[in-house]
């Protein structure tokens, strides 16, 4: 089954709604608590990235037989150097975003930590697609 979410790029105050809703869905399905936790954290980080870096986009969360696959797609500026972006503490977030408490440079590293698998497709000037999956 799929859950589809539109991610608003302008409103920081509602960032995290998609991951929060999906967490409720997983709990209702009776997903083991540890998996819910991993999904919630990884998905939240990816959602925040879509908001602050991607300028919004969309999210498709699919529950498959043996895993949960979550895709975030945006038409933002893209990532110039993925290996740099994967480093803990590295962030291109501007001061305004940092003032809001985001941009600590832990987004992608945290996704990698909590997801069982993660892939990034990005093109500068075109956008980024992050796919993360967590085994059931």
To the nearest whole angstrom, how small is the minimum distance from the Cβ of residue 68 to other proteins?
Answer: 11
To the nearest whole angstrom, how small is the minimum distance from the Cβ of residue 14 to other proteins?
Answer: 14
Nearer to other proteins, 22 or 91 (CB): 22
Query: What CA–CA distance (Å, rounded) separates 87 from 90?
Result: 6
From the list 9, 19, 68, 79, which residue makes contact with other proteins (rule: CB under 8 A)?
19
Size of the site for other proteins (CB under 8 A): 19
Q: Do residues 21 and 3 lie in contact, with contact meaning Cβ atoms separated by under 8 Å? A: yes
Query: What CA–CA distance (Å, rounded) separates 83 from 63?
Result: 29
From the list 37, 60, 62, 129, which residue makes contact with other proteins (rule: CB under 8 A)?
37
From the list 44, 51, 76, 85, which residue makes contact with other proteins (rule: CB under 8 A)?
44
Q: Which stretch binds other proteins (CB under 8 A): 39-47, 71-79, 87-95, 122-130?
A: 39-47
Q: SS3 of 122, please? A: strand
Residue linked to tokens 């497709």: 121
From the list 11, 20, 84, 117, which residue makes contact with other proteins (rule: CB under 8 A)?
20
Nearer to other proteins, 39 or 118 (CB): 39
Query: What CA–CA distance (Å, rounded) separates 53 from 60?
Result: 18
Query: What CA–CA distance (Å, rounded) separates 26 from 49?
Result: 22
Query: What CA–CA distance (Å, rounded) separates 37 from 43?
Result: 10
């Amino acid at each position: 089954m799929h859950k589809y979410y539109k991610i608003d790029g302008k409103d920081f105050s509602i960032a995290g709604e998609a991951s929060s809703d999906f967490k409720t869905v997983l709990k209702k399905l009776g997903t083991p608590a540890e998996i819910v936790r991993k999904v919630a954290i990884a998905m939240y980080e990816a959602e925040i990235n879509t908001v602050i870096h991607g300028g919004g986009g969309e999210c498709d969360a699919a529950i498959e037989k043996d895993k949960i696959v979550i895709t975030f797609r945006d038409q933002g500026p893209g990532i110039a150097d993925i290996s740099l972006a994967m480093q803990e503490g590295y962030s291109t977030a501007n001061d305004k975003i940092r003032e809001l408490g985001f941009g600590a440079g832990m987004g992608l590293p945290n996704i990698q930590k909590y997801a069982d698998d993660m892939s990034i497709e990005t093109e500068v000037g075109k956008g980024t697609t992050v796919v993360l999956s967590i085994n059931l």
